Amino acid sequence: MRRLWRPVLDGLIPYDAGLSLEALARELGRSDLVRLSANENPLGPSPRAVAAVEREAARIHLYPDGGSSALREALARRLGVGADQIVVGNGADELIALIAAAAFEPGDEVIVPAPSFEPYEISATLAGARVVESPLAGYDTDLDDVRRRVTDRTKAVMLCSPHNPATTIIHREPLLAFLDVLGPDSPLVVLDQAYMDFCDDADHVDGIRLLERYPRLVVLRTFSKIAGLAGLRVGYAVASVETIDRFNRVRAPYNVNRLGQVAALAALEDDAHAEKTRRLVLEERAYLSAELTKRGYAFPPSHANFLLVAVPDAAGLRTRLMRAGILVRDGAGVGFPGHLRFSVGLRETNETLLSLL
């Protein structure tokens, strides 16, 4: 018999995104559902991005710019790097897959903090690489443990700061010490900074500023969070020219659609909306954190737009919140049983959530 499918697929469970927001609203009979389970932007997209999509809508019969050139050039100016140091993807998710497609082979090892954002492990496994888990120390990435696991076979280290789902950051000094120890023949070090804009800790480092010193670093960012464009799927990687050239060799020709490109460009120019989002998230995160502490809940201080809170009976509480129209994530699904993960919402939603805890 002909064997059609790769055996590695047998061990993979298809990603279950659950019911769509619309289907769930129908099922629960509520049109006012608020989703706090996907770390989205509580203010919605930039109005400038919406206007850009409307203007572009009549041109969707035309293929997009395959290289996302205008967006890359605007990002390059903003970030102080060359446009040839950036690749734009169909969400940061696609970039994680591109890294695997370009670099990972059977026999390679990929170090992944556990728990962490699931696609790191899935893409490495799909590529035939062996995932080496480095357990978090409580809620923190343990760089000493990661370093001990680096071998000659290590192709990449996947780091996430602020961390999803633990909300913690990797501090500047330990990160630099880690990169220094790896030296010039370092594996790729992927630093996923999807939530960077919500971190106000002066000891958090902007990975892009480290690229000159550490050419094997790959920094991931997204328009899904601060810019509120999760539904359009736009993310980007910033790295050395050589690394980006390798990613471009495995990228599909028109990977980022026309609407996503113009919306991201408009969002990039809308500093006021980004600032408003950031201010709201920081204020409401402080409010939620203070109220949760008052009520005796334990959780790591969050540097992201969501919190991870230890609760008794997470599944029951999640159902109670869902009936009240608030969707949160059961920590059991993201490696933290006994916790709920929920995004920072608008004040009214946060008050309802607190009243139900």
Ligand X SMILES: Cc1ncc(COP(=O)(O)O)c(C=O)c1O
Binding-residue pattern over the window 108 to 127 for ligand X, x denoting contact by CB under 6 A: ---------x----------
In the region spanning residues 232 to 261, those forming contacts with ligand X, defined by CB under 6 A, are 235
CB of 74 to ligand X, least distance (A): 17
**Under 8 Å CB-to-CB from 270, ≥6 apart: which residues?**
46, 47, 48, 49
CB atoms within 10 A of CB 33: 17
- 270 scored as a contact of ligand X (CB under 6 A): no
CB of 224 to ligand X, least distance (A): 3
C-beta closer to ligand X: residue 29 or 268: 268
CB of 344 to ligand X, least distance (A): 14
Q: How far apart are CA 103 and CA 245, in angstroms?
A: 12
CB atoms within 10 A of CB 287: 15
CB of 149 to ligand X, least distance (A): 20
CB 302 within 8 Å of CB 285: yes
C-beta closer to ligand X: residue 20 or 27: 20
Q: Give 357's DSSP letter.
A: -
C-beta closer to ligand X: residue 201 or 242: 201
| Interface pick for ligand X out of 189, 194, 219, 262 (rule CB under 6 A) | 194
- 197 scored as a contact of ligand X (CB under 6 A): no
Place of tokens 């008052």: 294
Binding-residue pattern over the window 304 to 343 for ligand X, x denoting contact by CB under 6 A: ----------------------------------------
CB 262 within 8 Å of CB 53: yes
Which run of H or of E encompasses 68?
Answer: none
Burial 238-251 (b: 16+ CB within 10 A, else e): bbbeebbebbeeeb
Q: Which two tokens stand for residue 137?
A: 């120390």
- 230 scored as a contact of ligand X (CB under 6 A): yes
C-beta closer to ligand X: residue 235 or 331: 235
C-beta closer to ligand X: residue 196 or 210: 196
C-beta closer to ligand X: residue 86 or 106: 86
| Interface pick for ligand X out of 42, 79, 93, 113 (rule CB under 6 A) | 93
CB of 222 to ligand X, least distance (A): 3
Please tell me whether residue 171 adopts helix, strand or coil conformation: strand
Alpha helices in the chain, H assignment, sequence order: 21-28, 47-56, 69-79, 92-103, 118-126, 143-149, 172-182, 241-250, 258-269, 271-294, 314-323, 347-356
The footprint of ligand X (CB under 6 A) covers 39, 91-93, 117, 160, 164, 192, 194, 222, 224, 230, 235
